[in-house]
Amino acid sequence: MNSNYNFPEKRLIPPENLPDNLEVPDNTILVIPDQGVFKNPDNLKKLDQKRDWFNQHFYFCLPLTFGNQHGFVVVATSDLVIRWDGTNSVSGLYIHQIGDVPNPNFLTVKSHFGSGILTVHPRYMFRTPKNVNLMVKEPPNYPVDGLSWMNAVVETDNLRRDFTFNIKVTRANYDIYIKKGMPLGCILPYPRYFIDNYKLEELTNTEQLEVARQTMQYFSKERSEIDRGMPGLRYMNGEDIYGIKFDHHQKVLDNGKWWEQVKDKT
């Protein structure tokens, strides 16, 4: 990739300099409508652990249900059908609104980049506390045939404008139905520099290798022989094969309310 761009650039010179004095409280994502008519948006949702397509078996898997809850989503404000003709042209993506469009409409959808990209433009911007980015990503465990979300990371403590969610259409000449209320994008707060120095490293200590491998074998034996065909709730209950409890084990992001409601049914 050539990072030495040489595009002609025109810039607005504002008549005044408005300093960024906004202080976002900790653990907060501020939602700022771009116009007064777009206040109190009703298409922003906090994710929960449930998915309509999950059966009971999925809910035995804590990594899945816990992953379901990570983020906040922007949802469709009306029913849509989209179709991509397979070309790179901006006009190659057709968008058809079904039924009435709400007024005010808190987001617009359009073809902006071409290449079968559906661009979702909320009518508000997000601001985060200092040194907190937003990961812009696919809504977790909301698969849609023919759609693949484009991921991005935005410095929303610095950016003083809106941004878009972008979805790649992957099936040409195919009608894709988007139902009102369907998640069209997800944001997840992410501390800046968090993974910068992480690396993958293979364990080579002989003694530690033996302990790790033997422990995995015990787990495998329990799953394949002792508790064969059962969901196995050791991880859900926060304990290892030896019955030792995990430190700071977390099941949910809502103080455990969901698990307390469903645990007797599992």
> What pLDDT, in 10s, does the model give residues 174-220?
999 999 999 999 999 999 999 999 999 999 999 999 999 999 999 89
* Mean per-residue pLDDT, 76-92: 97
Segments of the chain assigned to CATH 2.70.40.10: 30-191
pLDDT the model gives residue 259: 47
Give me 175's structure tokens.
């009608």
Main-chain dihedrals φ then ψ at residue 244, nearest 5 degrees: -80, 130
Q: Mean pLDDT, the chain, as a whole number?
A: 91
pLDDT greater than 60 at residue 172: yes
Residue 251: pLDDT band with limits 50, 70, 90: confident
Give me 211's structure tokens.
């302990």
pLDDT greater than 70 at residue 225: yes
pLDDT greater than 90 at residue 134: yes
Q: Is pLDDT larger for residue 220 or for residue 152? A: 152
* Mean per-residue pLDDT, 141-149: 97
Residue 20: pLDDT band with limits 50, 70, 90: very high
Pair 51, 142: CB distance under 8 Å: yes
Cα 136 to Cα 148: distance, rounded to the nearest angstrom: 13
Give the residue among 249, 250, 233 at the shortest CA–CA distance from 241.
233
Pair 169, 118: CB distance under 8 Å: yes
pLDDT the model gives residue 75: 97
pLDDT greater than 80 at residue 5: no
- Give, rounded to a whole angstrom, the gap between the first and last alpha carbons of the chain: 51
115-130 pLDDT per residue, tens: 999 999 999 999 999 9
Share of the chain above pLDDT 70, in %: 93
Range 30-191 classified under CATH 2.70.40.10: yes
Cβ-based neighbour number of residue 23 at 10 Å: 9
24-51 pLDDT per residue, tens: 999 999 999 988 888 888 899 999 999 9
Task: Put the strands of the sheet holding 176-178 in their side by side order.
Answer: 93-98, 79-84, 176-178
Cα 154 to Cα 58: distance, rounded to the nearest angstrom: 32
pLDDT the model gives residue 266: 39
pLDDT the model gives residue 252: 86
